[in-house]
């Protein structure tokens, strides 16, 4: 009787160990899945950052051209006002 009781306890402990190992396997699968998702998000963030940098560079270029054009327009306007005041 004592041996049967002992075997039952060992069997219950083995069942518990089997359940724990199955839980650990599920946790490992979840961790792998999360790592893949994080890597995919990092890749997407890198692409978004590159696109943002490219857009920023283009805006800076356009803004610089706009400033040059505006200054040239003011210079031409000032020259026209100066020549008009000289002749009139």
pLDDT tens digits, one per residue of 46-84 = 999 999 999 999 988 888 888 888 999 999 999 999 998
Long-range contacts of 22-28 (CB under 8 A, 24+ apart): none
Collapsing DSSP to helix, strand or coil, 88 comes out as: coil
Reply yes or no on whether the pLDDT at 2 is more than 90.
Answer: no
Per cent of the chain over pLDDT 70 is 100
H-assigned helices in the chain? 2-87
């Amino acid at each position: 009787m004592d041996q049967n009781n002992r075997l039952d306890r060992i069997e219950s402990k083995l069942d518990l160990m089997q359940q724990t190992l199955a839980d650990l396997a599920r946790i490992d699968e979840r961790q792998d899945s999360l790592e893949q998702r994080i890597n995919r998000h990092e890749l997407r963030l890198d692409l978004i950052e590159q696109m943002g940098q490219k857009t920023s560079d283009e805006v800076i270029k356009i803004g610089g051209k706009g400033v040059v054009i505006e200054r040239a327009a003011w210079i031409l306007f000032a020259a026209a006002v100066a020549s008009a005041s000289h002749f009139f």
